[in-house]
């Protein structure tokens, strides 16, 4: 490929306005608005906004700009983790989690278990008072313990709207009337509601009421049970995986079509489910390289959770593998039907280290049948569409949350891990700086 010499670089450094600038020179652009590669481009960022994208031979570079050599590299939007659990502002774990996200190219996180401290934190991130990705935050979850009756459900939605949270998060235990009250109130306010599908409501009602996103594919297995199935009142296990053998798979197509028509998105978090129920040995999970950033006590707790899951009465490893197969088929069917998919891994959770787990989710999506472009789109352009944000696409006028890769992720999704640097709200962070930031969080545990 064409390589810039120092002489050519110097010739392109011409005078421009005095804005703080960064220029990615001779880079291959993955805009993510389409399945295309724009080869040998110069991308200029001024004060956090992409202002120019043009052919390297004719696009001048502002004098004084930070020049980043993009030769044989690929520039794409930053990724979004659409199902994260964000610690409280001031928590000892917050800096670690945020640094892990950014080092892995994650520039936006959607916090699915919000709290009051996140409201100020959201703004502090935007003004760079706190280092980390952009934050989209729910309020405290509405669930069977926090809500008592439809009237209270409605009042809690009104309170969270007034407080300024971005969306309502639902956890299990809500009855049908409470769920309807939440949905109708949120819809009146134009406030999204997302999360688990209450058993008392079911997927069909969630779709009909305009749930913004369903997490974990929750409720789909229950919706595929035959009416006569004894499993409807029996042991379902983690997200109903033990019902896999009783499902009427013929119902999947109708559910998928209804999802696509409803406009409800799904965040499968498949890596979370598979980390807990797959036959992958515990020792293999605990020896992953990223576990060096997790306290030993936390890793042991994750080991205990998986061990307890596998030892639980009624758990069947063969049914678990069938459940994984069906879930992956459902993910592919949703993608092929045009039902929206969003990238999320539920980090930090069992063996899901922030940032690292999102790349594992990308790999699972590709193993499920999505193309690398489709998988990456679920964490970039699709997120921009879902949120109505100005990130997620490499284009003039877009905010500059970007990742520079050393190889083409469209050719191999694992290349999305080969991060040369991250641009976070216009600030360029080379891989060396990111590694230095992570070094402070390494533990002294031995990773076998």
Using alpha carbons, list the distances in angstroms from residue 26 to 6, 44, 185. Answer: 13, 11, 51
Evaluate whether 347 touches 353 at the Cβ level (below 8 Å). Answer: yes
Q: Which fold has domain 6-76+395-439?
A: Urease, subunit C; domain 1 (2.30.40)
What span, in angstroms and rounded, lies between the C-alpha atoms of 361 and 272?
9
* Burial class (CB within 10 angstroms; exposed 0-12, middle 13-18, buried 19+) of 267: buried
If residue 273 lies in a helix (H) or strand (E), which one and from where to where?
Answer: helix 270-277
Q: CA–CA separation, 72 vs 70, rounded Å?
A: 6
In the chain, the N- to C-terminal Cα span, in Å, equals: 40
Q: Find, among 442, 423, 409, the residue nearest to 73 by Cα.
A: 409
43: Cα separation from own chain's centroid: 25
Handedness of CA 233, 237, 242, 248 (dihedral sign): positive
Same fold, 6-76+395-439 and 79-387: no
Whether 215 and 167 have beta carbons less than 8 Å apart is answered as no
Cα dihedral 424, 426, 430, 433 sign:
negative
What is the per-residue pLDDT for 37?
Answer: 98
Q: Edge-to-edge, what's the strand order for the sheet holding 265-267?
A: 168-170, 193-195, 213-215, 265-267
SS3 41: strand
With beta carbons less than 8 A apart as the criterion, state whether 345 and 353 touch.
no
Q: Is the Cβ–Cβ distance between 23 and 44 less than 8 Å?
A: yes
**The listed CATH number (3.90.226.10, 3.20.20.150, 3.40.50.720, 3.20.20.140) that belongs to domain 79-387:** 3.20.20.140
Under DSSP, is residue 333 helix (H, G, I), strand (E, B) or coil?
A: helix
- The residue extents of the domains of the chain are 6-76+395-439, 79-387
206 Cα distance to chain centroid: 21
**Ordered per-residue pLDDT tens for the chain, 448 residues:** 323 333 233 333 333 334 589 999 999 999 999 999 999 999 999 999 999 999 999 999 999 999 999 999 999 999 999 999 999 998 989 999 999 999 999 999 999 999 999 999 999 999 999 999 999 999 999 999 999 999 999 999 999 999 999 999 999 999 999 999 999 999 999 999 999 999 999 999 999 999 999 999 999 999 999 988 765 444 577 889 999 999 999 999 999 999 999 999 999 999 999 999 999 999 999 999 999 999 999 999 999 999 998 888 788 999 999 999 999 999 999 999 999 999 999 999 999 999 999 999 999 999 999 999 999 999 999 999 999 999 999 999 999 999 999 999 999 999 999 999 999 999 999 999 999 999 999 986 655 4
Q: What is the Cα–Cα distance from 45 to 388, expressed in whole angstroms?
A: 21
What whole-number distance in Å separates Cα of residue 181 and Cα of residue 192?
14
- DSSP symbols for 55-94: ETTT--EETTPEEEE-TT-EEEEPEEEEEE-PPPTT-TTH
pLDDT score at 280: 92
């Amino acid at each position: 490929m064409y390589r810039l010499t120092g002489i050519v670089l110097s010739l392109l450094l011409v005078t421009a306005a005095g804005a703080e600038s960064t220029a990615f020179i001779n880079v291959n652009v993955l805009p993510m608005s389409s399945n295309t590669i724009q080869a040998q481009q110069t991308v200029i960022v001024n004060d956090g906004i992409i202002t120019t994208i043009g052919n390297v031979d004719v696009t001048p570079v502002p004098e004084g700009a930070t020049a980043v050599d993009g030769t044989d590299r690929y520039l794409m939007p930053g990724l979004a983790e659409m199902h994260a659990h964000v610690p409280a502002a001031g928590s000892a774990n917050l800096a670690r989690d945020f640094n892990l996200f950014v080092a892995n190219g994650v520039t936006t996180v959607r916090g699915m278990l919000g709290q009051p401290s996140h409201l100020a934190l959201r703004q502090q991130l935007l003004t760079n008072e706190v280092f980390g990705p952009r934050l989209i935050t729910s309020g405290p979850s509405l669930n069977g313990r926090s809500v008592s009756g439809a009237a209270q459900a409605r009042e809690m939605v009104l309170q969270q709207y007034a407080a300024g949270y971005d969306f309502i998060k639902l956890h299990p235990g809500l009855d049908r009337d409470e769920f309807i009250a939440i949905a109708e109130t949120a819809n009146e306010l134009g406030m999204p509601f997302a999360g688990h599908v209450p058993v008392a409501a079911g997927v069909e009602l969630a779709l009909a009421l305009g749930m913004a996103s369903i997490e974990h594919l929750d409720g789909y297995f229950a919706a595929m049970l035959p009416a006569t199935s004894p499993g409807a009142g029996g042991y379902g296990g983690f997200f109903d995986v033990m019902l896999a053998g009783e499902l009427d798979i013929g119902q999947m197509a109708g559910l998928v079509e209804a999802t696509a028509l409803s406009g409800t998105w799904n965040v499968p978090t498949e890596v979370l489910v598979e980390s807990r129920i797959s036959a992958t040995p515990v020792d293999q999970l605990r020896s992953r390289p990223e576990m060096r950033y997790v306290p030993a006590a936390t890793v042991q707790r994750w080991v205990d959770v998986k061990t307890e899951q596998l030892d639980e009465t009624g758990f069947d490893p063969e049914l678990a593998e069938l459940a994984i197969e069906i879930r992956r088929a459902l993910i592919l069917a949703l993608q092929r039907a045009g039902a929206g998919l969003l990238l999320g891994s539920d980090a930090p959770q069992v063996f899901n280290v922030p940032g690292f787990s999102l790349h594992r989710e990308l790999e699972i999506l590709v193993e499920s049948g999505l193309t690398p472009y489709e998988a990456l789109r679920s964490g970039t352009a699709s997120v921009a569409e879902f949120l109505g944000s100005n990130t997620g696409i490499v284009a003039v006028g877009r905010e500059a949350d970007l990742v520079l890769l050393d190889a083409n992720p469209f050719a191999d999704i694992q290349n999305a891990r080969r991060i040369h640097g991250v641009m976070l709200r216009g600030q360029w962070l080379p891989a060396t700086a990111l590694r230095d930031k992570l070094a402070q969080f390494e533990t002294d545990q031995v990773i076998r």
